[in-house]
Amino acid sequence: MAKYVFITGGVVSGLGKGITAGALGALLKARGYKVTLQKIDPYFNVDSSNLSPYQHGEVFVTGDGAETDLVIGHYERLLGENLFSHSEVTSGQIYSSVIAKERQGEYDGGTVQVVPHITDEIKSKITALSAGESDIIITEIGGTVGDIECHPFLEAIRQLRSEVGRANVAYVHVTLLPYIESSGEQKTKPTQHSVKELQNVGIQPDIIVCRSEYPIGDGSKKKLSLFCNVSQDCIIQDLTTEKLYSVPLMLEQEGFAKVVLRRLHLEDKTPDLKKQTEFCEKSEALADCGKSVKIAVVGKYVEKHDAYVSLSQALFFGGVNNGVKVDIKWVSSESVTQTNAKKLFGDVGGIVIPSGFGERGFDGKIAAATYARKNDIPCLMIGMGAQAGIVEYAKNELNITDAADAEFSSAGSLVIDKFGSGLTCKKGEHKTLLVNGSMLKNIYGGADVICERHRHKYQINKDYKDALSAKELKFTGFSEHGTPEAFEIQGKKFYVGVIFQPEFTARPSRPAPLFDALISAAYKNL
């Protein structure tokens, strides 16, 4: 029978519950347990597909095509495993399902209520994960304890402990321990109040993870233990750090996994943390290695760095693998023109033009692609970035002056066309067939077929395949239906466009090949 760990948050939002959940998953996996993670979001959007990047950051796409919160990406990178559509549950999904069942008469004419119908639906989404091979299921409850939208989820996980047995559930509460500079005091009162909020709904946390800017003193731990009814060794210090992948190692030193396993009545095995330790040592060594490269990221949401979190992590992993510190220069695609491109990109070793939707900033992406191509700056174009690269090349090199993207135009030579009818979107993992002798095939280690994740409504129009490849641009990757999905310009240091998004599968110990190759080319370009 699977064991359950429920992670809640208190005091303030944005404490890093997702990182705590992912780190715990990594520590338990390192002990040989099979672990999966799940995020429950209390908002009423059914998924993240229509959420603005300015509000929620990146939309992370799983292998089976689910459009999820960016925290699922953190889970995958920390755990080192792929997750799926059932890894994110929203209030929108829960209420939609219950209403649909009511309309179909599945409740036999009964009055549909939060308890038991909504809570039963929530529990079914959680326990459904136990049908797999996982020993431990870690579920993060989004939001903050006390938020009105969180109550049904808290009630559901309260009920689950009674249903599956107390020995099979651990409650972890993540809170903030503020430090008052003027008095030099660490304050435990906000955490005490947050725990009382949990107790009011019938949940007594077993473990409290305290986020803090400063080490937690023994006095604070004793006070929290006394007033929150938690063993002192179950008060876990989680110091603020910019080194995300060192968090599992920090929490291991605090005995986090040990006390979770004790609560679940499972054996605390010796963890194998060799990969995590080696990665952290290599990444920390970059600060003193003397090797660095600046990469410009040209996007429409660059004010919100979380909109490109998987991309920035993929660049980081590629840098670590190459032994090079990567400095990202965020460039708004709306600001780029043919006249100022040299000023914007004159100091960079490489350029990434990422995916996106909508016409805003598209001309700037075209200008960036033009500058990279003409000045032989290593450039990786992804999704809409690849669309811009094709339109630019058709107009400026092939004299197809009316070259256009069907996303914004219905007239002209539509070198970029719809993927399907209506609002059809190609999502999730799909095969791409690579061309012999291409740079792309070499980058992917000589593979004939690769599987990368997609999220796009438009694609390169295969009717223009021959016209577009008449000169040095060559298509080097195709879908199973013969649609071009990747191109490169021969003779350039690195000029590659792909319609898929390789950043989603980048891992600390397994960098995305395209980003790894870009960093290598960009550093050599200096």
Which one of 241, 272, 303 terminates a domain? Answer: 272
Same domain, 309 and 219: no
278 domain-assigned: no
How many domains does the chain fold into?
A: 2
**What is the predicted pLDDT for the residue at 423?**
64
250 domain-assigned: yes
Same domain, 325 and 201: no
Q: How far apart are CA 506 and CA 77, in angstroms?
A: 7
**What is the predicted pLDDT for the residue at 259?**
97
Least reliable range by pLDDT among 29-33, 147-151, 156-160, 257-261: 147-151
Q: How far apart are CA 57 and CA 6, in angstroms?
A: 24
Q: Per DSSP, what are the bridge partners of residue 418?
A: 458
Same domain, 218 and 295: no
What does the pLDDT look like over 444-495, one tens digit per residue? Answer: 999 999 999 999 999 999 999 999 999 999 999 999 999 999 999 989 999 9
CATH number, position 520: 3.40.50.880
Q: Which residues contact 445 (CB under 8 A, 6 or more apart)?
A: 513
**What is the predicted pLDDT for the residue at 450?**
98
Same domain, 109 and 204: yes
- Mean pLDDT across the chain, nearest whole number? 94
What mean pLDDT comes out for the span 123-152?
92
φ, ψ for residue 346, nearest 5 deg: -65, -20
pLDDT score of 422 more than 70: no
Enter the pTM of the model: 0.94
- Exposure class string for 213-236: b at 16+ Cβ within 10 A, else e: eeebeeebbebbbeebebeeebbb
440 domain-assigned: yes
What mean pLDDT comes out for the span 131-156?
93
Same domain, 251 and 355: no
At residue 411 the predicted structure's pLDDT band, cuts being 50, 70 and 90, is confident
Q: How far apart are CA 497 and CA 514, in angstroms?
A: 10
Same domain, 143 and 200: yes
Same domain, 264 and 294: no
Same domain, 331 and 461: yes
Same domain, 489 and 513: yes
At residue 201 the predicted structure's pLDDT band, cuts being 50, 70 and 90, is very high
Residue 131 CB coordination number (10 Å): 9
Which one of 245, 272, 299 terminates a domain? Answer: 272
Domain of 393 in residue numbering reads as 288-524
- What percent of the chain stands above pLDDT 70? 99
155 domain-assigned: yes
**What is the predicted pLDDT for the residue at 82?**
95
**What is the predicted pLDDT for the residue at 179?**
85
Which DSSP symbol is given to 112?
P
Same domain, 24 and 77: yes
Same domain, 204 and 339: no
- What percent of the chain stands above pLDDT 90? 86
Q: How far apart are CA 189 and CA 182, in angstroms?
A: 17
At residue 29 the predicted structure's pLDDT band, cuts being 50, 70 and 90, is very high
**What is the predicted pLDDT for the residue at 183?**
76
280 domain-assigned: no
**What is the predicted pLDDT for the residue at 490?**
87
Same domain, 327 and 250: no
CATH number, position 134: 3.40.50.300
What mean pLDDT comes out for the span 328-356?
96
**What is the predicted pLDDT for the residue at 104?**
93
What does the pLDDT look like over 362-375, one tens digit per residue? Answer: 999 999 999 999 99
What mean pLDDT comes out for the span 209-220?
92
What mean pLDDT comes out for the span 339-351?
96
